[in-house]
Structure 1
């Protein structure tokens, strides 16, 4: 069993981010072929938690928060070879710790992950509305 370390202050490159998205299920739903957009996604997130197996990035939580009322967890990606080890749950907990207990943690689940979130104590909320982006 490998020893996973977590960081909330380690900057990652767009290439590293895309790589872990590719190794999880999220690359299908992210603009991984647009490096500029991926770079902006990283630059403007104000919470970024990373999980590492040595020097290998194996998980990421990328979020936007006001640290007092809400925190939108935009990306939760764990390499498929590292899933079911509690890494996703730990990334969520660390994101919540930084956002603060008064901030609601909100996310839109990827279709493959809909069954995961209730298992770790997240409530399914049906009253969500969205205006879709103009480009993927």
Structure 2
């Protein structure tokens, strides 16, 4: 199996949608909202992808300042290709793009906790989420 890893190559929204659906991440992403998915791609400044020929099989999608913090918002590997080290390679390729002091930060689904511990992440309980503004336009 020859996997090719690429940094910041364009992918289209349908490729992204299909990959999310083929991975476990599709359950927690707006796969039926193509404008939202397009916005996710357009506003990411670091995307590392894995390809099997012309097929997109995995993605690490991040937003970063490249020096202090990198928020890894998606790490998705097609179920057919999981447990082959592709996720680890995506993480390593992402880190290679970052400065030496830049931390990789993510919010993981509870089922992924063991995976992230295994690949070297440390758990941090200090995460806060502010949901979008309500219809009234004010923070609840």
In the alignment, the residues of structure 1 paired with residue 119 and residue 52 of structure 2 have an alpha-carbon distance, to the nearest angstrom, of: 22
Alignment gaps of 5+ in structure 1: none
Mapping for residues 1-136 of structure 1, pairs under 5 Å:
2-133=1-132
How many residues end up aligned between the 2 structures? 134
TM-score (norm 1): 0.93
Cα RMSD for the two superposed structures: 1.3
TM-score (norm 2): 0.91
In the alignment, the residues of structure 1 paired with residue 122 and residue 99 of structure 2 have an alpha-carbon distance, to the nearest angstrom, of: 18
Q: Extract structure 1 runs of 4+ deviating beyond 3 A.
A: none
Task: Return the index of the structure with the highest Cα Rg.
Answer: 2
In the alignment, the residues of structure 1 paired with residue 99 and residue 89 of structure 2 have an alpha-carbon distance, to the nearest angstrom, of: 15
